[in-house]
């Protein structure tokens, strides 16, 4: 059924229900309505449809089974058992009764009983029922935290039905637990060979390639996922997120525009666009998007933080402090928020508050070399080289990098300990000559120092 036909069917059904009219629909119409409401997780309405279908088609067991399915999905397992008893009277040999009962038992934590229900199924089953059998087995294993067995059961399920959407959606959950991404790539490529338009398989392939670090292949697979199914919003968003992480900001913006056209605009999407524009240096274009993101989600700490970045670019220091303070109020555990407000306080000459926030930033992320460097530079700029050396001592307990050594060298020069500084410079140049530019970034005057120049020439 086309999307337009489904919309018309839903509209007609809801209008007649509101008017209290008696009406009769064929079985296909009821199936589409139940599927629609289950996909939307509108369980009460799905139940109304199932009840109406049972009244109109009382000779078939199908809608009793759908009623049981709805009850199970809405966490009403015990009423579902009662419905399955009714279904059993109409169709005592119906395999789906055992499958649904096993599923309900799984959600109640009765894993052994659930397996026993499945063991009662006959050996000779059609492909679709075999696929469902292995899918329910996988659910049981998932609830037992047996993810390797879960994966194998799902792999068996898709061998019977490679288009089984709910099974493919579960597959990635198992893969992420056992981290068998290479096997996942192979499996999903096989599924795609059989069904090139399987959107979920392309999506899973994209995720698996991304975990393996095959980013171009991941971007390509995620694109195919939404080309195969334009309604696969997750694939669009996952591809946009990956493109952003890869610093491909123009591509990210293009994908975000597609999402806006096909779906809807939300705070997360506007935030992502604003982030891209900031990275591209288009500050004035980013600002209104970030403001709109904040309007849609007033407690969006990242929007506040990026608006603080905008204010810094515009040299509106007090506004930057305001926005950054708001971000910290919402989430006090983001080191970049504290580092930014520390830098702004330093710009405003409020060194005490700057130090407080650098203390907090380095407490949150002690492994981040850049935070320690910023802190040490602040202390050096305020003529406290000895304090900067103490900070670097603390830094080296958690952070590693040649930058710390070069920063220490600058501190030693500032503290008047030339011999120690030159000795350490000799060691640093031997270990990592390429990083020596940091020396002149922090202390440009050292370019004129003849002894420093001699050492650089010696190790070049």
* Nearby residues of 65 by Cβ (< 8 Å), 6 or more positions away: 84, 87, 94, 96, 97, 100
Q: Look at residues 393, 396, 394, 391 and name the one whose alpha carbon lies nearest to residue 380.
A: 391
346 CB neighbour count, 10 Å cutoff: 20
What pLDDT score does 401 carry? 93
Higher pLDDT, 19 or 309: 309
What pLDDT score does 373 carry? 96
Q: What is the pLDDT of residues 245-288, one digit of tens each?
A: 999 999 999 999 999 999 989 999 999 999 999 999 999 999 99
Residue 3 has pLDDT above 80, yes or no: no
Class of domain 368-460: mainly alpha
pTM, entire model: 0.86
* % of residues, the chain, pLDDT over 70: 99
What pLDDT score does 1 carry? 67
Q: Please, which pLDDT band fits residue 18 given cuts at 50, 70 and 90?
A: confident
What pLDDT score does 123 carry? 87
> Cα–Cα distance between 117 and 101 in angstroms, integer?
7
Residue 142 has pLDDT above 90, yes or no: yes
* Nearby residues of 136 by Cβ (< 8 Å), 6 or more positions away: 99, 102, 103, 106, 114, 118
Q: What is the pLDDT of residues 151-193, one digit of tens each?
A: 999 999 999 998 899 999 999 999 999 999 999 999 999 999 9
What pLDDT score does 335 carry? 98
> Cα–Cα distance between 291 and 283 in angstroms, integer?
12
Q: What is the pLDDT of residues 200-217, one digit of tens each?
A: 999 999 999 999 999 999
CATH number of 265-365: 1.25.40.10
Q: Span 428-441, mean pLDDT?
A: 92
Domain 1-119 matches domain 265-365 at the CATH topology level: yes
Q: Exposed (0-12), middle (13-18) or buried (19+): which is 358, by Cβ within 10 Å?
A: buried
User: Hey, where are the domains in the chain?
Assistant: 1-119, 265-365, 368-460
What pLDDT score does 243 carry? 98
Higher pLDDT, 312 or 27: 312
| Homologous superfamily assigned to 1-119 | Tetratricopeptide repeat domain (1.25.40.10)
Q: Look at residues 35, 22, 23 and name the one whose alpha carbon lies nearest to residue 63.
A: 35
Residue 57 has pLDDT above 90, yes or no: no
């Amino acid at each position: 059924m086309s999307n337009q036909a489904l919309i018309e069917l839903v509209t007609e059904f809801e209008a007649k229900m509101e008017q209290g009219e008696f009406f009769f629909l064929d079985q296909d119409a009821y199936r589409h309505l139940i599927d629609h409401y289950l996909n939307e997780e509108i369980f009460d309405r799905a139940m109304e449809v199932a009840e109406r279908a049972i009244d109109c088609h009382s000779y078939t067991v199908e809608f009793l089974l759908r009623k049981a399915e709805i009850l199970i999905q809405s966490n009403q397992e015990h009423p579902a058992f009662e419905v399955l008893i009714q279904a059993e009277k109409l169709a005592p040999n119906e395999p789906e009764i055992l499958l649904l009962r096993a599923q309900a038992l799984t959600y109640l934590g009765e894993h052994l009983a659930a397996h026993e229900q499945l063991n009662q199924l006959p050996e000779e089953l059609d492909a679709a029922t075999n696929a469902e059998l292995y899918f329910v087995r996988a659910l049981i294993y998932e609830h037992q935290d047996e993810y390797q067995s879960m994966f194998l059961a799902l792999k068996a399920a898709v061998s019977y039905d490679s288009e089984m959407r709910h099974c493919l959606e579960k597959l990635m959950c198992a893969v992420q637990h056992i981290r068998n991404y290479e096997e996942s790539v192979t499996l999903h490529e096989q599924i795609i060979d059989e069904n090139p338009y399987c959107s979920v398989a392309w999506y899973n392939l994209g995720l698996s390639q991304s975990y393996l670090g095959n980013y171009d292949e991941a971007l390509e697979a995620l694109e195919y996922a939404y080309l195969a199914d334009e309604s696969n919003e997750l694939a669009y968003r996952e591809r946009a997120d990956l493109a952003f992480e890869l610093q491909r900001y123009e591509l990210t913006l293009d994908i975000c525009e597609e999402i806006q056209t096909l779906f809807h605009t939300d705070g997360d999407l506007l935030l992502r666009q604003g982030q891209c524009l900031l990275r591209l240096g288009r500050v004035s274009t980013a600002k209104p998007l970030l403001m709109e993101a904040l309007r849609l989600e007033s407690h969006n700490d990242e929007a506040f933080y990026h608006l603080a970045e905008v204010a810094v670019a515009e040299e509106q220091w007090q506004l930057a402090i305001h926005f950054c303070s708001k971000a910290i109020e919402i989430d006090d555990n983001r080191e970049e928020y504290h580092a930014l407000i520390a830098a702004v306080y330093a710009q405003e000459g409020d060194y005490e508050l700057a130090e407080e926030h650098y203390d907090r930033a380095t407490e949150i992320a002690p492994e981040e070399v850049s935070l320690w460097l910023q802190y040490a530079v602040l202390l050096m700029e305020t003529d406290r080289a000895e304090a900067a050396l103490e900070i670097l001592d603390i830094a080296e307990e958690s952070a590693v990098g040649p930058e710390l050594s070069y920063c220490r060298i600058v501190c030693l020069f500032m503290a008047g300990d030339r011999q120690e500084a030159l000795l350490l410079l000799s060691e640093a140049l031997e270990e990592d000559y390429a990083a020596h530019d940091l020396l002149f970034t922090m202390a440009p005057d050292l370019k004129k120092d003849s002894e420093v120049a001699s050492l650089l020439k010696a190790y070049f």
